Structure 1
Amino acid sequence: MDGLRVVPTRRHGRERLYVCLPDGGNVAWYDREAARVNLLSDDRRDEVLQALGPFVTGPVTVVTGPVTVGPPPVPTPAELARLSLHPDDDLAPNRPGEALLVALEREPAPAHRLRADPRRRALAAEQATGAALDRLDGAGWHTLHSLPLPGGDRVHHLLIGPGGLFALHVLPARRQRVRVGDPLVALGRRTPLPLLRRVRADADRASYALTAEVRPVLVLVEPAHVSVTAPPRSVRVLTDRELPELAGTGGVLKPADVEALHAMARDRATWKRV
Protein backbone atom coordinates (compact mmCIF):
# COMPACT_ATOMS: atom_id res chain seq x y z
CA MET A 1 0.00 0.00 0.00
CA ASP A 2 3.11 2.18 -0.30
CA GLY A 3 2.71 3.43 3.25
CA LEU A 4 -0.82 4.77 2.83
CA ARG A 5 -2.64 5.06 6.13
CA VAL A 6 -6.25 5.77 7.07
CA VAL A 7 -6.98 8.52 9.58
CA PRO A 8 -10.56 8.81 10.95
CA THR A 9 -11.93 12.27 11.76
CA ARG A 10 -15.28 13.61 12.90
CA ARG A 11 -16.33 17.23 12.44
CA HIS A 12 -19.72 18.93 12.61
CA GLY A 13 -21.35 15.55 13.13
CA ARG A 14 -19.91 14.00 9.93
CA GLU A 15 -17.40 11.18 9.87
CA ARG A 16 -14.64 11.03 7.27
CA LEU A 17 -11.74 8.65 6.73
CA TYR A 18 -8.72 10.37 5.18
CA VAL A 19 -6.15 8.34 3.24
CA CYS A 20 -2.74 9.91 3.81
CA LEU A 21 0.80 9.56 2.45
CA PRO A 22 3.71 8.93 4.84
CA ASP A 23 4.41 12.70 4.86
CA GLY A 24 0.83 13.43 5.94
CA GLY A 25 -0.50 14.63 2.58
CA ASN A 26 -4.03 13.56 1.66
CA VAL A 27 -4.69 11.51 -1.46
CA ALA A 28 -8.37 10.69 -0.82
CA TRP A 29 -11.14 10.64 1.74
CA TYR A 30 -14.15 8.42 2.36
CA ASP A 31 -17.39 10.12 3.37
CA ARG A 32 -19.49 7.43 5.02
CA GLU A 33 -22.69 9.48 5.10
CA ALA A 34 -22.47 10.23 1.37
CA ALA A 35 -21.13 6.70 0.65
CA ARG A 36 -18.43 8.21 -1.56
CA VAL A 37 -14.66 7.84 -1.93
CA ASN A 38 -13.23 11.14 -3.17
CA LEU A 39 -9.93 10.75 -5.05
CA LEU A 40 -7.57 13.70 -5.35
CA SER A 41 -5.49 11.72 -7.84
CA ASP A 42 -6.72 8.83 -9.96
CA ASP A 43 -3.17 7.40 -10.12
CA ARG A 44 -3.54 5.85 -6.66
CA ARG A 45 -7.09 4.54 -7.06
CA ASP A 46 -6.24 0.87 -6.46
CA GLU A 47 -3.99 1.63 -3.48
CA VAL A 48 -6.61 3.89 -1.91
CA LEU A 49 -9.37 1.30 -2.28
CA GLN A 50 -7.09 -1.37 -0.81
CA ALA A 51 -6.33 0.83 2.19
CA LEU A 52 -10.03 1.60 2.70
CA GLY A 53 -11.09 -2.01 2.19
CA PRO A 54 -11.60 -2.83 5.90
CA PHE A 55 -13.66 0.34 6.41
CA VAL A 56 -15.93 0.44 3.35
CA THR A 57 -19.25 -1.38 3.61
CA GLY A 58 -20.89 -2.64 0.45
CA PRO A 59 -19.54 -3.08 -3.10
CA VAL A 60 -17.46 -0.30 -4.60
CA THR A 61 -18.33 0.93 -8.10
CA VAL A 62 -17.06 3.75 -10.30
CA VAL A 63 -20.35 5.54 -10.91
CA THR A 64 -23.26 3.87 -9.20
CA GLY A 65 -23.84 1.55 -6.28
CA PRO A 66 -23.64 1.68 -2.48
CA VAL A 67 -20.18 3.35 -2.61
CA THR A 68 -19.17 5.71 -5.40
CA VAL A 69 -15.55 6.42 -6.35
CA GLY A 70 -14.45 9.51 -8.21
CA PRO A 71 -13.04 13.02 -7.95
CA PRO A 72 -14.51 15.35 -5.30
CA PRO A 73 -17.88 16.78 -6.41
CA VAL A 74 -17.99 20.36 -7.63
CA PRO A 75 -18.98 22.55 -4.64
CA THR A 76 -22.39 24.18 -4.70
CA PRO A 77 -22.77 27.98 -4.30
CA ALA A 78 -23.76 27.41 -0.66
CA GLU A 79 -20.61 25.35 -0.05
CA LEU A 80 -18.45 27.99 -1.70
CA ALA A 81 -20.00 30.64 0.56
CA ARG A 82 -19.24 28.49 3.60
CA LEU A 83 -15.63 27.94 2.51
CA SER A 84 -15.13 31.69 2.13
CA LEU A 85 -16.05 32.33 5.78
CA HIS A 86 -13.35 33.21 8.26
CA PRO A 87 -13.35 30.63 11.09
CA ASP A 88 -14.25 33.34 13.61
CA ASP A 89 -17.35 34.22 11.55
CA ASP A 90 -18.60 30.66 11.05
CA LEU A 91 -21.31 29.89 13.63
CA ALA A 92 -21.83 26.27 12.54
CA PRO A 93 -19.25 24.89 15.04
CA ASN A 94 -21.16 26.48 17.95
CA ARG A 95 -22.07 23.89 20.56
CA PRO A 96 -25.56 23.82 22.10
CA GLY A 97 -25.49 26.44 24.85
CA GLU A 98 -22.24 27.93 23.53
CA ALA A 99 -22.88 31.33 25.11
CA LEU A 100 -23.61 29.74 28.50
CA LEU A 101 -20.49 27.59 28.31
CA VAL A 102 -18.35 30.67 27.64
CA ALA A 103 -20.06 32.61 30.45
CA LEU A 104 -19.49 29.79 32.94
CA GLU A 105 -15.84 29.56 31.98
CA ARG A 106 -15.31 33.30 32.38
CA GLU A 107 -17.39 33.78 35.52
CA PRO A 108 -17.91 30.49 37.38
CA ALA A 109 -20.30 30.48 40.30
CA PRO A 110 -18.70 31.01 43.73
CA ALA A 111 -17.64 27.76 45.40
CA HIS A 112 -19.62 28.60 48.54
CA ARG A 113 -22.90 29.05 46.63
CA LEU A 114 -25.62 27.00 48.33
CA ARG A 115 -28.03 26.72 45.38
CA ALA A 116 -27.14 25.33 42.00
CA ASP A 117 -26.20 27.93 39.41
CA PRO A 118 -29.33 28.46 37.24
CA ARG A 119 -27.09 28.84 34.21
CA ARG A 120 -26.18 25.17 34.53
CA ARG A 121 -29.84 24.14 34.42
CA ALA A 122 -30.31 26.30 31.33
CA LEU A 123 -27.17 24.80 29.78
CA ALA A 124 -28.31 21.23 30.40
CA ALA A 125 -31.69 22.01 28.80
CA GLU A 126 -30.08 23.56 25.71
CA GLN A 127 -27.66 20.67 25.39
CA ALA A 128 -30.48 18.11 25.55
CA THR A 129 -32.48 20.06 22.97
CA GLY A 130 -29.45 20.51 20.73
CA ALA A 131 -28.65 16.80 20.82
CA ALA A 132 -32.22 15.97 19.79
CA LEU A 133 -32.10 18.46 16.91
CA ASP A 134 -28.70 17.29 15.69
CA ARG A 135 -30.16 13.82 15.26
CA LEU A 136 -32.39 15.24 12.51
CA ASP A 137 -29.39 16.01 10.25
CA GLY A 138 -29.75 12.79 8.30
CA ALA A 139 -33.29 13.74 7.27
CA GLY A 140 -32.24 16.85 5.36
CA TRP A 141 -32.25 19.26 8.30
CA HIS A 142 -29.53 21.57 9.63
CA THR A 143 -29.32 23.01 13.14
CA LEU A 144 -27.34 26.04 14.32
CA HIS A 145 -26.89 26.72 18.01
CA SER A 146 -26.57 29.84 20.15
CA LEU A 147 -26.80 32.46 17.40
CA PRO A 148 -25.85 35.90 18.78
CA LEU A 149 -28.18 38.86 18.30
CA PRO A 150 -27.28 42.52 18.87
CA GLY A 151 -27.94 43.65 22.42
CA GLY A 152 -26.86 40.41 24.08
CA ASP A 153 -29.86 38.28 23.06
CA ARG A 154 -29.53 35.07 21.09
CA VAL A 155 -31.49 32.43 19.25
CA HIS A 156 -31.01 29.24 21.26
CA HIS A 157 -31.40 26.98 18.23
CA LEU A 158 -32.25 27.56 14.56
CA LEU A 159 -33.62 24.56 12.66
CA ILE A 160 -33.59 24.67 8.85
CA GLY A 161 -35.02 21.94 6.65
CA PRO A 162 -37.74 20.76 4.27
CA GLY A 163 -40.45 21.99 6.66
CA GLY A 164 -39.08 25.55 6.83
CA LEU A 165 -37.21 27.50 9.49
CA PHE A 166 -37.83 27.36 13.24
CA ALA A 167 -36.34 29.55 15.97
CA LEU A 168 -36.39 27.53 19.20
CA HIS A 169 -36.27 29.06 22.67
CA VAL A 170 -35.51 26.55 25.43
CA LEU A 171 -37.00 26.72 28.92
CA PRO A 172 -35.71 24.29 31.60
CA ALA A 173 -38.74 22.92 33.45
CA ARG A 174 -37.52 19.74 35.10
CA ARG A 175 -40.29 18.22 37.26
CA GLN A 176 -42.27 21.46 37.28
CA ARG A 177 -45.80 22.28 36.22
CA VAL A 178 -45.92 24.76 33.36
CA ARG A 179 -48.87 27.04 32.62
CA VAL A 180 -49.02 28.83 29.27
CA GLY A 181 -51.45 31.67 28.70
CA ASP A 182 -50.33 33.94 25.88
CA PRO A 183 -48.08 35.86 26.44
CA LEU A 184 -47.47 34.55 29.98
CA VAL A 185 -45.58 31.41 30.96
CA ALA A 186 -45.39 30.26 34.59
CA LEU A 187 -43.13 27.62 36.11
CA GLY A 188 -44.51 26.05 39.28
CA ARG A 189 -45.46 28.77 41.74
CA ARG A 190 -43.28 31.43 40.18
CA THR A 191 -44.72 34.68 38.91
CA PRO A 192 -45.78 34.32 35.26
CA LEU A 193 -43.54 36.13 32.78
CA PRO A 194 -44.37 37.31 29.21
CA LEU A 195 -41.91 34.87 27.69
CA LEU A 196 -43.86 34.31 24.48
CA ARG A 197 -43.27 37.93 23.48
CA ARG A 198 -39.54 37.29 23.51
CA VAL A 199 -39.94 34.00 21.61
CA ARG A 200 -41.89 35.81 18.88
CA ALA A 201 -39.46 38.74 18.84
CA ASP A 202 -36.44 36.46 18.37
CA ALA A 203 -38.16 34.67 15.47
CA ASP A 204 -39.09 38.02 13.90
CA ARG A 205 -35.47 39.16 14.09
CA ALA A 206 -34.34 35.90 12.50
CA SER A 207 -36.91 36.37 9.72
CA TYR A 208 -35.55 39.85 9.06
CA ALA A 209 -31.94 38.61 9.00
CA LEU A 210 -32.65 35.71 6.63
CA THR A 211 -35.40 37.39 4.58
CA ALA A 212 -37.51 34.27 5.07
CA GLU A 213 -40.31 33.19 7.38
CA VAL A 214 -38.99 31.82 10.67
CA ARG A 215 -41.56 30.23 12.97
CA PRO A 216 -41.17 30.56 16.77
CA VAL A 217 -41.08 27.48 18.99
CA LEU A 218 -40.98 27.29 22.79
CA VAL A 219 -39.35 24.06 24.01
CA LEU A 220 -40.14 22.92 27.56
CA VAL A 221 -37.50 20.50 28.80
CA GLU A 222 -38.66 17.70 31.14
CA PRO A 223 -41.82 19.36 32.53
CA ALA A 224 -43.99 17.45 34.99
CA HIS A 225 -47.18 18.78 33.39
CA VAL A 226 -48.10 21.38 30.77
CA SER A 227 -51.40 23.26 30.63
CA VAL A 228 -52.24 25.69 27.85
CA THR A 229 -55.23 27.91 28.51
CA ALA A 230 -55.47 28.98 24.86
CA PRO A 231 -53.33 28.21 21.79
CA PRO A 232 -50.57 30.86 21.71
CA ARG A 233 -50.58 33.18 18.72
CA SER A 234 -48.07 31.91 16.12
CA VAL A 235 -45.91 30.13 18.74
CA ARG A 236 -45.64 26.37 18.80
CA VAL A 237 -45.17 24.92 22.31
CA LEU A 238 -43.42 21.54 22.49
CA THR A 239 -41.77 19.42 25.13
CA ASP A 240 -38.30 18.03 24.45
CA ARG A 241 -39.86 14.62 23.73
CA GLU A 242 -41.99 16.13 20.97
CA LEU A 243 -39.09 17.67 19.02
CA PRO A 244 -38.97 14.84 16.43
CA GLU A 245 -42.41 16.06 15.27
CA LEU A 246 -40.68 18.98 13.56
CA ALA A 247 -38.90 16.57 11.20
CA GLY A 248 -42.26 15.29 10.01
CA THR A 249 -43.07 18.57 8.33
CA GLY A 250 -42.11 19.19 4.71
CA GLY A 251 -43.05 20.69 1.39
CA VAL A 252 -41.85 24.21 2.27
CA LEU A 253 -38.20 24.39 1.18
CA LYS A 254 -36.31 22.64 -1.60
CA PRO A 255 -32.90 21.11 -0.78
CA ALA A 256 -31.09 23.94 -2.59
CA ASP A 257 -33.01 26.52 -0.55
CA VAL A 258 -32.18 24.69 2.67
CA GLU A 259 -28.47 24.77 1.83
CA ALA A 260 -28.54 28.43 0.81
CA LEU A 261 -30.34 29.50 4.00
CA HIS A 262 -27.98 27.40 6.11
CA ALA A 263 -24.98 29.07 4.48
CA MET A 264 -26.47 32.50 5.19
CA ALA A 265 -27.44 31.70 8.77
CA ARG A 266 -24.02 30.36 9.75
CA ASP A 267 -22.38 33.67 8.82
CA ARG A 268 -21.98 35.89 11.90
CA ALA A 269 -22.36 39.00 9.75
CA THR A 270 -25.95 37.98 8.92
CA TRP A 271 -27.01 38.59 12.53
CA LYS A 272 -25.28 41.93 13.04
CA ARG A 273 -27.99 43.83 11.18
CA VAL A 274 -30.96 42.86 13.36
Structure 2
Amino acid sequence: MSGLRVVPTWRHGRERLYVCGPDGENVAWYDRETGRVNLIGEDRREDVLKALKPFLAGSVTVGPPPVPTPAELARLSLHPDDDLAPNRPGEALLVALERDPGPAHRLRPDPRRHALTAEQTVGEALDRLEGAGWHALHSVPLPGGDRIHHLLIGPGGLFAVHALYARKQRVLVADPMVTVGRREAEPLLRRLRAEADRATHALTAEVHPVLALVGPTGNLTVTAQPRGVRVLQDTELAALARVGGVLKPADVEALHAMARDRGTWGRV
Protein backbone atom coordinates (compact mmCIF):
# COMPACT_ATOMS: atom_id res chain seq x y z
CA MET A 1 0.00 0.00 0.00
CA SER A 2 1.19 3.50 -0.80
CA GLY A 3 0.00 5.04 2.47
CA LEU A 4 -1.21 8.14 0.63
CA ARG A 5 -4.42 9.90 1.60
CA VAL A 6 -6.47 12.60 -0.15
CA VAL A 7 -7.43 15.76 1.76
CA PRO A 8 -9.92 18.22 0.15
CA THR A 9 -9.36 21.94 0.81
CA TRP A 10 -10.59 25.27 -0.51
CA ARG A 11 -8.17 28.03 -1.53
CA HIS A 12 -9.43 31.39 -2.83
CA GLY A 13 -12.81 29.86 -3.64
CA ARG A 14 -11.35 26.94 -5.60
CA GLU A 15 -11.33 23.30 -4.51
CA ARG A 16 -8.03 21.45 -4.34
CA LEU A 17 -7.42 17.84 -3.39
CA TYR A 18 -4.06 17.42 -1.64
CA VAL A 19 -2.35 14.04 -1.62
CA CYS A 20 -0.43 13.53 1.62
CA GLY A 21 2.07 10.94 2.75
CA PRO A 22 1.93 9.02 6.06
CA ASP A 23 3.89 11.83 7.74
CA GLY A 24 1.42 14.47 6.52
CA GLU A 25 3.76 15.91 3.90
CA ASN A 26 2.11 16.96 0.62
CA VAL A 27 3.31 15.01 -2.39
CA ALA A 28 0.82 16.33 -4.97
CA TRP A 29 -2.42 18.23 -5.45
CA TYR A 30 -5.30 18.07 -7.91
CA ASP A 31 -6.96 21.28 -9.08
CA ARG A 32 -10.46 20.39 -10.28
CA GLU A 33 -10.96 23.66 -12.12
CA THR A 34 -7.88 23.33 -14.31
CA GLY A 35 -7.99 19.52 -14.44
CA ARG A 36 -4.31 19.29 -13.49
CA VAL A 37 -2.47 17.01 -11.08
CA ASN A 38 0.64 18.78 -9.80
CA LEU A 39 3.39 16.38 -8.68
CA ILE A 40 5.98 17.58 -6.20
CA GLY A 41 8.03 14.44 -6.88
CA GLU A 42 7.88 12.42 -10.10
CA ASP A 43 8.77 9.21 -8.26
CA ARG A 44 5.28 8.97 -6.68
CA ARG A 45 3.33 9.49 -9.95
CA GLU A 46 1.65 6.06 -10.06
CA ASP A 47 0.78 6.06 -6.36
CA VAL A 48 -0.65 9.58 -6.58
CA LEU A 49 -2.83 8.76 -9.58
CA LYS A 50 -4.08 5.59 -7.87
CA ALA A 51 -5.03 7.56 -4.75
CA LEU A 52 -6.80 10.24 -6.82
CA LYS A 53 -8.55 7.84 -9.21
CA PRO A 54 -11.98 8.02 -7.46
CA PHE A 55 -11.89 11.84 -7.71
CA LEU A 56 -10.64 12.38 -11.27
CA ALA A 57 -13.13 13.41 -13.92
CA GLY A 58 -12.59 14.03 -17.63
CA SER A 59 -9.18 14.60 -19.17
CA VAL A 60 -6.39 15.33 -16.70
CA THR A 61 -2.87 16.62 -17.21
CA VAL A 62 -0.08 15.49 -14.91
CA GLY A 63 3.19 17.26 -14.27
CA PRO A 64 5.31 19.36 -11.92
CA PRO A 65 3.77 22.48 -10.34
CA PRO A 66 3.85 25.55 -12.61
CA VAL A 67 6.71 27.98 -12.08
CA PRO A 68 5.38 30.92 -10.02
CA THR A 69 5.15 34.25 -11.79
CA PRO A 70 7.02 37.30 -10.43
CA ALA A 71 3.69 38.57 -9.07
CA GLU A 72 3.08 35.30 -7.22
CA LEU A 73 6.60 35.35 -5.79
CA ALA A 74 6.08 38.92 -4.58
CA ARG A 75 2.82 37.88 -2.90
CA LEU A 76 4.40 34.86 -1.24
CA SER A 77 7.22 36.98 0.17
CA LEU A 78 4.87 39.65 1.53
CA HIS A 79 4.51 39.74 5.33
CA PRO A 80 0.84 39.37 6.39
CA ASP A 81 0.95 42.67 8.30
CA ASP A 82 1.96 44.45 5.08
CA ASP A 83 -0.65 42.81 2.86
CA LEU A 84 -3.57 45.15 2.11
CA ALA A 85 -5.58 42.55 0.16
CA PRO A 86 -7.48 41.26 3.25
CA ASN A 87 -8.78 44.79 4.03
CA ARG A 88 -12.56 44.93 4.16
CA PRO A 89 -14.45 47.76 2.46
CA GLY A 90 -14.36 50.60 4.99
CA GLU A 91 -11.58 48.89 6.96
CA ALA A 92 -10.21 52.14 8.43
CA LEU A 93 -13.67 53.28 9.55
CA LEU A 94 -14.48 49.86 11.02
CA VAL A 95 -11.30 50.00 13.12
CA ALA A 96 -12.02 53.60 14.18
CA LEU A 97 -15.58 52.76 15.24
CA GLU A 98 -14.39 49.71 17.20
CA ARG A 99 -11.89 51.86 19.08
CA ASP A 100 -14.28 54.77 19.62
CA PRO A 101 -17.94 53.90 18.95
CA GLY A 102 -19.05 57.34 20.17
CA PRO A 103 -21.95 58.13 22.53
CA ALA A 104 -24.73 55.57 22.69
CA HIS A 105 -27.35 58.32 22.32
CA ARG A 106 -26.88 61.32 20.07
CA LEU A 107 -29.26 63.69 18.34
CA ARG A 108 -27.79 63.05 14.89
CA PRO A 109 -26.37 59.85 13.39
CA ASP A 110 -22.60 59.51 13.57
CA PRO A 111 -21.38 60.69 10.13
CA ARG A 112 -18.76 57.95 10.22
CA ARG A 113 -21.51 55.36 9.96
CA HIS A 114 -22.93 56.97 6.82
CA ALA A 115 -19.42 57.07 5.37
CA LEU A 116 -18.97 53.39 6.28
CA THR A 117 -22.22 52.47 4.54
CA ALA A 118 -21.00 54.25 1.41
CA GLU A 119 -17.63 52.49 1.41
CA GLN A 120 -19.20 49.09 2.04
CA THR A 121 -21.75 49.58 -0.74
CA VAL A 122 -19.12 50.66 -3.26
CA GLY A 123 -16.62 48.04 -2.09
CA GLU A 124 -19.11 45.21 -2.51
CA ALA A 125 -19.93 46.40 -6.03
CA LEU A 126 -16.24 46.46 -6.95
CA ASP A 127 -15.57 43.05 -5.38
CA ARG A 128 -18.20 41.58 -7.69
CA LEU A 129 -15.92 42.42 -10.65
CA GLU A 130 -13.30 39.96 -9.38
CA GLY A 131 -14.41 37.18 -11.72
CA ALA A 132 -13.93 39.43 -14.76
CA GLY A 133 -10.19 39.75 -14.18
CA TRP A 134 -10.28 42.74 -11.82
CA HIS A 135 -8.86 43.20 -8.31
CA ALA A 136 -10.16 45.65 -5.70
CA LEU A 137 -8.15 46.87 -2.71
CA HIS A 138 -9.84 48.80 0.09
CA SER A 139 -8.69 51.48 2.54
CA VAL A 140 -5.28 51.97 0.94
CA PRO A 141 -3.27 54.10 3.41
CA LEU A 142 -1.32 57.15 2.27
CA PRO A 143 1.26 59.09 4.30
CA GLY A 144 -0.21 61.91 6.35
CA GLY A 145 -3.34 60.02 7.36
CA ASP A 146 -5.04 60.14 3.95
CA ARG A 147 -6.30 57.01 2.22
CA ILE A 148 -7.78 55.83 -1.04
CA HIS A 149 -11.21 54.33 -0.35
CA HIS A 150 -10.90 51.74 -3.12
CA LEU A 151 -8.30 50.94 -5.76
CA LEU A 152 -9.58 48.96 -8.74
CA ILE A 153 -7.07 47.23 -11.01
CA GLY A 154 -8.01 45.33 -14.14
CA PRO A 155 -7.89 45.03 -17.92
CA GLY A 156 -9.34 48.53 -18.34
CA GLY A 157 -6.69 50.21 -16.19
CA LEU A 158 -6.47 51.52 -12.64
CA PHE A 159 -9.11 53.55 -10.80
CA ALA A 160 -9.00 55.30 -7.42
CA VAL A 161 -12.65 55.22 -6.31
CA HIS A 162 -13.96 57.56 -3.61
CA ALA A 163 -17.30 56.62 -2.03
CA LEU A 164 -19.63 59.47 -1.01
CA TYR A 165 -22.85 58.95 0.96
CA ALA A 166 -25.72 60.84 -0.67
CA ARG A 167 -28.78 58.79 0.30
CA LYS A 168 -31.96 60.60 -0.89
CA GLN A 169 -30.12 63.88 -1.33
CA ARG A 170 -29.45 66.19 -4.24
CA VAL A 171 -25.89 66.38 -5.48
CA LEU A 172 -24.31 69.28 -7.35
CA VAL A 173 -20.91 68.81 -8.99
CA ALA A 174 -19.26 72.05 -10.10
CA ASP A 175 -15.58 71.24 -10.57
CA PRO A 176 -13.81 71.18 -8.15
CA MET A 177 -16.72 71.64 -5.71
CA VAL A 178 -19.22 68.95 -4.68
CA THR A 179 -22.37 69.78 -2.72
CA VAL A 180 -24.51 67.09 -1.09
CA GLY A 181 -27.93 68.16 0.16
CA ARG A 182 -27.68 71.22 2.38
CA ARG A 183 -24.10 70.57 3.37
CA GLU A 184 -21.42 73.10 2.60
CA ALA A 185 -19.71 72.60 -0.75
CA GLU A 186 -16.18 71.16 -0.60
CA PRO A 187 -13.41 70.92 -3.23
CA LEU A 188 -13.63 67.13 -3.28
CA LEU A 189 -12.61 66.66 -6.92
CA ARG A 190 -9.32 68.45 -6.29
CA ARG A 191 -8.62 66.00 -3.49
CA LEU A 192 -9.51 62.99 -5.67
CA ARG A 193 -7.18 64.13 -8.44
CA ALA A 194 -4.38 64.58 -5.90
CA GLU A 195 -4.92 61.06 -4.49
CA ALA A 196 -4.94 59.55 -7.98
CA ASP A 197 -1.71 61.41 -8.79
CA ARG A 198 -0.09 59.98 -5.67
CA ALA A 199 -1.23 56.48 -6.63
CA THR A 200 0.14 57.01 -10.15
CA HIS A 201 3.50 57.95 -8.65
CA ALA A 202 3.51 54.92 -6.32
CA LEU A 203 2.59 52.39 -9.00
CA THR A 204 4.29 54.09 -11.98
CA ALA A 205 1.05 53.55 -13.93
CA GLU A 206 -1.75 56.01 -14.61
CA VAL A 207 -4.55 55.90 -12.03
CA HIS A 208 -7.89 57.53 -12.88
CA PRO A 209 -10.02 59.14 -10.13
CA VAL A 210 -13.69 58.14 -9.77
CA LEU A 211 -16.35 59.67 -7.51
CA ALA A 212 -18.97 57.05 -6.60
CA LEU A 213 -22.22 58.47 -5.21
CA VAL A 214 -24.22 56.12 -3.01
CA GLY A 215 -28.01 56.46 -3.15
CA PRO A 216 -28.68 59.99 -4.48
CA THR A 217 -32.30 60.88 -5.26
CA GLY A 218 -31.56 60.95 -8.97
CA ASN A 219 -31.28 64.72 -8.87
CA LEU A 220 -27.61 64.83 -9.84
CA THR A 221 -26.42 68.02 -11.49
CA VAL A 222 -23.02 68.20 -13.14
CA THR A 223 -22.42 71.71 -14.48
CA ALA A 224 -19.60 70.54 -16.77
CA GLN A 225 -17.69 67.32 -17.23
CA PRO A 226 -15.10 67.35 -14.41
CA ARG A 227 -11.51 67.35 -15.59
CA GLY A 228 -10.23 63.77 -15.50
CA VAL A 229 -12.77 62.55 -12.91
CA ARG A 230 -15.61 60.10 -13.60
CA VAL A 231 -18.77 60.69 -11.56
CA LEU A 232 -20.86 57.52 -11.19
CA GLN A 233 -23.64 56.26 -8.98
CA ASP A 234 -22.97 53.03 -7.07
CA THR A 235 -25.36 51.19 -9.40
CA GLU A 236 -23.19 52.19 -12.38
CA LEU A 237 -19.84 50.91 -11.14
CA ALA A 238 -20.05 47.71 -13.17
CA ALA A 239 -19.52 49.94 -16.23
CA LEU A 240 -15.86 50.24 -15.24
CA ALA A 241 -15.41 46.57 -16.15
CA ARG A 242 -16.55 47.35 -19.68
CA VAL A 243 -13.72 49.80 -20.27
CA GLY A 244 -11.62 48.71 -23.27
CA GLY A 245 -8.56 46.58 -22.69
CA VAL A 246 -5.53 48.56 -21.53
CA LEU A 247 -3.56 46.09 -19.43
CA LYS A 248 -2.52 42.52 -20.14
CA PRO A 249 -3.35 39.89 -17.47
CA ALA A 250 0.31 39.67 -16.41
CA ASP A 251 0.42 43.46 -15.98
CA VAL A 252 -2.76 43.38 -13.90
CA GLU A 253 -1.29 40.75 -11.59
CA ALA A 254 2.03 42.61 -11.28
CA LEU A 255 0.31 45.91 -10.42
CA HIS A 256 -1.98 44.16 -7.93
CA ALA A 257 1.03 42.55 -6.25
CA MET A 258 2.71 45.95 -5.98
CA ALA A 259 -0.42 47.78 -4.78
CA ARG A 260 -1.27 45.28 -2.03
CA ASP A 261 2.16 45.86 -0.42
CA ARG A 262 1.81 48.51 2.31
CA GLY A 263 5.42 49.53 1.69
CA THR A 264 4.56 50.72 -1.81
CA TRP A 265 2.51 53.58 -0.36
CA GLY A 266 5.09 54.89 2.09
CA ARG A 267 6.87 56.72 -0.72
CA VAL A 268 4.05 59.07 -1.72
TM-score (norm 1): 0.86
Distance between the aligned counterparts of 1:219 and 1:148, measured in 2? 19
1:138 corresponds to which of 131, 151, 154:
131
Match of 1:255 among 249, 253, 264: 249
Count residues with an aligned counterpart: 262
* 2:49 corresponds to: 46
Task: Specify which of 228, 233, 239 is matched with residue 234 of structure 1.
Answer: 228
**Which of these two proteins has the greater Rg computed from alpha carbons?**
2
Alignment deviations for residues 171-218 of structure 1 (CA, whole Å, 9 cap, x no partner): 011121111111111111212111111111110110111111110000
- Counterpart of 1:93? 86
Q: Indicate if the aligned counterparts of 1:177 and 1:187 stay in contact, CA closer than 8 A.
A: yes
Q: How far 1:8 moved relative to its partner?
A: 3.3
* 2:161 paired with 1:168: yes
Structure 2: 5+ residue runs without aligned partners?
Answer: none
1:17 aligned partner: 16
Q: CA RMSD for the aligned pairs?
A: 2.2
Sort the Cα spacing of 1:193 and 1:50 in 2 relative to 1 into closer, same or farther, 3 A: same
Give 1:108 shift: 1.2
Q: Helix, strand or coil: the match of 1:120?
A: helix
Matched to 1:45, the amino acid is V
- TM value normalised by structure 2: 0.88
Tell me by how many angstroms 1:78 deviates: 1.2
- Matched-pair contact (CA < 8 Å) for 1:129–1:170: yes
Name the % identity.
68
1:15-164 alignment to 2 at 5 Å? 15-19=14-18, 21=20, 24-31=24-31, 34=34, 36-41=36-41, 43=44, 44-50=47-53, 52-53=55-56, 59-62=58-61, 69-164=62-157
Q: Which residue of 1 aligns with 2:239?
A: 245
Q: Does 1:272 find its partner at 2:266?
A: yes
SS at match of 1:186: strand
Q: Contact 1:6/1:52 (CA < 8 Å) preserved in 2?
A: no
1:210 aligns with 2:203: yes
1:229 & 1:35 partners in 2: Cα distance?
A: 54
Q: 1:224 to 1:31 in 2, by over 3 A?
A: farther
